[in-house]
Amino acid sequence: MIEVVGVAAQGLASLTPEARAVLDGAEVVLGGARHLEMLDQRPGRELIPWPSPLRANLPAVLAMVAGRRIVVLASGDPLVSGVGATLVDLLGPDAVTIRPAVSSVSLARAEMRWGAEDSDVITLVGRRFDRLRRDLSPRARLIFLTHGDDAPARIATLLTEEGYGASRLTVLGDLGTPAQSRTEGIARSWDHGAVPRLHLVCVECIADAGSTSRSLTPGLDDAAFDNDGQLTKRIVRAAALAHLAPQPGDVMWDLGAGAGSVGIEFARRHPRIRVHAVERDPQRAARIRRNADRLGVPTLEVVVASAGDASGILPPPDAVFIGGGASGSLIRAAWSVLRPGGRMVVHGVTVETEMTLLAAYRLHGGVVSRIAVEDLEPIGSFTGWKPSRTITQWAATKPRPHPIPETEPETT
């Protein structure tokens, strides 16, 4: 059993008697340099700093000290973007005990007078700052866990780029200590220098006049995506996403992704969704990467490969979208690895693809629809309807296996 002890900003004085007793009985203490410096050297207790990179090297460190009484020191609540979650993920919940202190997030909310139900926490620690673009909306209250002295300036720059230059930033440093500080400013005019090493950033989002906010509802404007014409258009994209039904924790494949619009909108539904956009053309793959970053889903993985290679290199999906070039073999391969309860949507514009989708429908069920969209456009001094190519859409959900009934015990 590994004991993970949260330490508040004021140091070891914040520990409860129970947590202090656990720490005093440790044979091995793991932690960051700041926490280990709080401890004195004593016989029978080894102090080990975190390896770098942490997650890749942590199993080897734990194997080296296996069988000894191990305590891990962490900041505040170890399960708020902390090492506690990493240890549980690596070792399982039964191998770890968590003893949290008050988190920096709780202290920040108290300082800002923000309720937990009225504000959202976003971690940028070890992550791309483009992540914050997804969560911007008028009147949103966001608490950013950050890294680096330049984090507030980078956040202010991104806010301004996204049309939120009027937003109010509050940088809270060294929370819970006598050195606690508070620095305030407006995003577009942020010019404050270095901030305390231990800090977080609170943002009250205010949209600039004339700016347009992006909704999380499927169907972003086509202009939101840089593309070369290989783009699933807005109304058709919204219909596909309705059948794909994104859910937190889903793994999604976007095969033959083109501009990546369907996969990107799928990923925008929730931060824990993981999307793999497969595109064999390197230029289009680079375009997908730029689109994903600009629209706030930098975790989307772009795979430069043919769609047919996906089943051999990607984790099993909960949702699959094939936007073009569908073949019977590709559908069979993707369906075979689709998890039970998973959803598949395939689009076609040719008669040959329609025949393939009809065969898939007869085999797996689901629904087949034809989607025809016409947009009003000028015709000289008049206006008229311009039709787009009609899309044939097949959508199906893979059945979950029926549970095997338990055998009734024999009676005598």
Q: Give me Rg for the CA atoms of the chain.
A: 26
- 233-265 pLDDT per residue, tens: 999 999 999 999 999 999 999 999 999 999 999
Least confident of 108-117, 297-306, 390-399, 402-411: 402-411
Q: Mean pLDDT for the chain?
A: 93
* Helix pair angle (83-91, 54-64), 10° resolution: 60
Least confident of 8-22, 107-121, 294-308: 8-22
Report whether pLDDT(412) > 60: no
**CB-based burial, 180-212: b 16+ in 10 Å, e otherwise:** eeebebbbeebeeeebbebbbbbbbbbbeeeee
Report whether pLDDT(223) > 60: yes
The pLDDT-based confidence of 336 (bands split at 50, 70, 90) is very high
- The whole-angstrom separation of Cα 88 and Cα 185 is 38
* Amino acid present at 328: G
Report whether pLDDT(184) > 90: yes
Q: Specify whether domain 105-204 bears CATH 3.40.50.720.
A: no
Extract long-range pairs of 45-52: CB within 8 Å, 24+ residues apart. Answer: 50/83
Q: Select 222-397's CATH number: 1.20.1290.10, 3.30.470.20, 3.40.50.1360, 3.40.50.150.
A: 3.40.50.150
- 139-170 pLDDT per residue, tens: 999 999 998 889 999 999 999 999 999 999 99
Q: Bigger pLDDT: 109 or 40? A: 109
Q: Would you list the domain boundaries of the chain?
A: 2-101, 105-204, 222-397
Q: How high is the pLDDT of residue 171?
A: 97
Q: Specify whether domain 2-101 bears CATH 3.10.310.70.
A: no
DSSP, collapsed to helix, strand or coil, labels residue 75 as: strand
- The whole-angstrom separation of Cα 124 and Cα 132 is 8
Q: How high is the pLDDT of residue 273?
A: 97
Q: What are the phi and psi torsion angles at 239 (to 5°)?
A: -65, -40
Least confident of 18-27, 182-191, 192-201: 192-201
Query: What is the mean pLDDT of the segment spanning 306-329?
Result: 93
Q: How high is the pLDDT of residue 140?
A: 96
- 61-73 pLDDT per residue, tens: 999 999 999 999 9
Report whether pLDDT(286) > 90: yes
- 114-139 pLDDT per residue, tens: 999 999 999 998 889 999 999 999 99
Q: How high is the pLDDT of residue 401?
A: 85
- 15-26 pLDDT per residue, tens: 999 999 999 999
The pLDDT-based confidence of 40 (bands split at 50, 70, 90) is confident
- 371-405 pLDDT per residue, tens: 999 999 999 999 999 999 999 999 999 999 877 66
Provide the 10 A C-beta neighbour count for residue 100.
Answer: 19
